[in-house]
C-alpha cells in the first residue's frame, strides 16, 4: 500500500507559554496601544524594537502592522516618490510589487536564476532604470550579497531588503537585512515568528528611521521609542513626513518577544527538517535540488525543487498524485495565480516585458511549506512520496 501523509502544511506550533503570559498581562491591564503606558512603564512594542535592533546589530528598529507595510514605509522613508521605478525580483510574491504600487511607484522586474535568486547579470543590465532595488530573498534563497552590493553601489542603487523568508538567516555571517539601507521582516503566521500579522524594519540611517517612525503614526511621542534616533533628527523631518498609521500594538509585541529570543534554536530545527527533505530528494531522476552556497546560513522553513523543462501536464500530474497522498505542493508555472502563488506577469497593474529565461525557471519551481509541527520522520515520509510520484511521472512515456 502506498504511504499517505496525514499532517497539515498550515498548522503552526502554539505560542510559547511566556508569550501567552505576556499577552494575558497586556489584556488584563488593557493598554494595548503602544503609546498608552502607565507612569514609569515601557511598552511591549518599545521593548520589542530595542531587543530586535540588538539582535540584528542595528541602530534603529520599528515595529509595524505587517511586512508589506514595512516595505512601503521603508521605500517612502528612503525617498521613493509616485512615478518612480523600483527594481525587484521577478520571482517573488504579490505583496512585494504590491508595496511598490501602493506608493504610486512602478515595479520593474529582474530575472531569476536556477538557484532561485535574483539574476545579478540581469541586474547589471537594468541598474540604470531605477534608484532603488527592493530585493526579495524569496523563499529564503540568498544571492551573493557581496557581489550584489558591489553592483548596486557602483550604480547608485539603494537596496531595501525584503526578509520575510530570511529572518534568522545570514550571508557570510552578516544577518539578512543588514546589507542594504533597510531590512524588512514579516511576523505573519506563516513566517519565522508568529503574531498573526505584523512587521519589523531595521536601519542604521537616522533620518530613514525618524521618517519611518513618523510614517507609522507616532504623532509627537518619539521619546517612547527605545530604538529610534534623538529628538533633533525628528525636528529635521517631522513637517514634511506624512502620518500613515501602521503601528504594532502591545499585544502582538508581547507575543513576539519570547519567540525572537528562541529564533536561533528554531532556525536549527527548520534546517534539520530541510536537510531530511534534501537528502530524501537528491538524485531523483528528473528533479533538481537547489544547492545552497557555503556562504549562506539559511532558514529551511520552506523547500523548493525544480522540474526543469517538464511539460505542464506532467507537472500537474505530479501535483495531483502528491496531493492524493497528502502532500501539498505549490507550483509557480501556472498561467493564472493558484495556491497563493503568482508570477510577475500576473500583476497587470505593473506591465512587464517578456522574460523567457525567467519563465523557464518559474515553470519548473515546485514549493512546499515546512512547519515545525512536522517531525523529522514526517519530512522523510514527504520526501519518499514526492520521490515516488516524480519518478512515476518522469518515467511514464505518455
Q: Residue 76 pLDDT > 70, yes or no?
A: yes
Q: What CA dihedral angle connects 279, 281, 282 and 288, to 10 degrees? A: -140
320 occurs within a structural domain: yes
Tally of domains in the chain:
2
Question: Can you point out the beta strands (E) in 130-212?
Answer: 132-136, 158-162, 170-171, 174-175, 182-186, 199-203
Q: What radius of gyration, in Å, describes the C-alpha atoms of the chain?
A: 22
Say if residues 167 and 193 touch (Cβ distance below 8 Å). yes
Q: What are the tens digits of pLDDT across the range 325-365?
A: 999 999 999 888 888 888 899 888 888 889 999 999 999 99
Q: Are residues 116 and 206 in the same domain?
A: yes
Spatial distance between the Cα atoms of 244 and 69, rounded to a whole number of angstroms? 10
9 part of a folded domain: no
Q: Identify whether residues 27 and 106 lie together within a single domain.
A: yes
State which H helix or E strand residue 61 sits in.
strand 60-64
Residue 5 lies in a domain: no
Asked if 135 and 68 sit in the same domain, the reply is yes
Show Cβ contacts of residue 250 under 8 Å, excluding neighbours closer than 6 positions: 26, 31, 32, 33, 34, 36, 43, 44, 45
Same domain, 240 and 370: no
Average pLDDT of the residues in 158-177: 98
- Rounded Cα–Cα distance for residues 304 and 150 (Å): 28
Per-residue pLDDT tens for 208-261? 999 999 999 998 899 999 999 999 999 999 999 999 999 999 999 999 999 999
Q: Is residue 6 part of a domain?
A: no
Is the predicted pLDDT of residue 1 greater than 60, yes or no? no
**What's the pLDDT band for 398 if we cut at 50, 70, 90?**
low
Question: End of a domain among 261, 292, 324?
Answer: 261
Beta strands, E only, 307-344: 330-331
Give the pLDDT mean for 50-55: 98
* Mean of pLDDT over the chain: 96
**pLDDT given at position 397:** 75
Contacts of 242 (CB under 8 A, 6+ apart): 214, 215
Model confidence at 25, pLDDT cuts 50, 70, 90, reads very high
- Which structural domain range is residue 99 located in? 17-261
Helix (H) or strand (E) holding 369: strand 365-369
Amino acid at each position: 500500500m502506498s504511504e499517505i501523509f496525514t499532517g497539515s502544511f498550515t498548522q503552526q506550533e502554539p505560542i510559547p507559554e511566556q508569550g501567552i503570559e505576556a499577552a494575558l498581562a497586556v489584556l488584563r491591564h488593557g493598554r494595548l496601544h503602544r503609546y498608552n503606558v502607565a507612569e514609569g512603564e515601557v511598552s511591549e512594542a518599545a521593548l520589542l524594537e530595542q531587543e530586535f535592533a540588538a539582535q540584528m546589530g542595528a541602530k534603529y528598529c520599528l515595529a509595524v502592522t505587517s511586512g508589506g507595510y514595512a516595505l512601503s514605509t521603508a521605500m517612502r522613508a528612503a525617498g521613493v516618490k509616485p512615478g518612480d521605478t523600483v527594481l525587484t525580483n521577478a520571482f517573488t510574491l504579490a505583496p512585494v510589487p504590491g508595496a511598490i504600487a501602493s506608493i504610486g511607484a512602478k515595479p520593474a522586474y529582474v530575472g531569476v536564476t536556477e538557484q532561485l535568486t535574483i539574476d545579478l547579470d540581469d541586474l547589471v543590465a537594468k541598474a540604470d532604470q531605477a534608484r532603488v532595488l527592493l530585493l526579495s530573498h524569496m523563499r529564503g534563497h540568498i544571492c551573493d550579497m557581496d557581489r550584489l552590493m558591489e553592483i548596486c553601489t557602483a550604480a547608485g542603487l539603494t537596496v531595501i531588503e525584503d526578509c520575510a523568508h530570511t529572518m534568522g538567516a545570514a550571508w557570510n555571517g552578516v544577518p539578512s537585512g543588514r546589507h542594504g539601507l533597510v531590512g524588512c521582516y514579516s511576523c505573519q503566521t506563516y513566517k519565522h515568528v508568529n503574531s498573526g500579522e505584523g512587521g519589523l524594519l531595521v536601519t542604521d540611517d537616522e533620518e530613514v528611521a525618524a521618517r519611518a517612525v513618523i510614517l507609522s503614526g507616532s504623532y509627537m511621542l518619539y521619546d517612547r521609542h527605545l530604538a529610534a534616533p534623538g529628538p533633533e533628527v525628528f525636528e529635521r523631518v517631522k513637517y514634511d513626513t506624512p502620518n500613515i498609521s501602521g503601528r504594532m500594538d502591545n499585544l502582538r509585541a508581547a507575543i513576539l518577544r519570547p519567540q525572537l529570543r528562541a529564533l536561533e534554536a528554531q532556525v536549527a530545527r527548520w534546517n534539520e527538517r530541510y536537510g531530511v527533505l534534501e537528502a530524501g530528494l537528491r538524485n531523483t531522476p528528473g528533479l533538481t535540488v537547489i544547492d545552497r552556497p557555503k556562504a549562506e546560513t539559511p532558514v529551511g522553513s520552506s523547500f523548493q525543487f525544480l522540474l526543469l523543462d517538464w511539460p505542464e501536464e506532467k507537472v500537474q500530474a505530479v501535483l495531483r498524485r502528491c496531493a492524493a497522498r497528502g502532500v501539498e505542493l505549490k507550483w509557480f508555472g501556472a498561467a493564472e495565480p493558484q495556491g497563493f502563488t503568482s508570477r510577475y506577469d500576473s500583476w497587470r497593474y505593473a506591465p512587464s516585458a517578456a522574460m523567457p529565461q525567467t519563465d523557464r525557471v518559474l515553470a519548473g519551481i515546485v514549493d512546499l511549506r515546512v512547519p515545525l509541527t512536522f517531525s523529522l520522520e514526517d519530512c522523510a515520509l514527504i520526501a519518499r512520496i514526492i520521490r515516488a510520484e516524480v519518478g512515476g511521472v518522469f518515467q511514464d512515456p505518455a
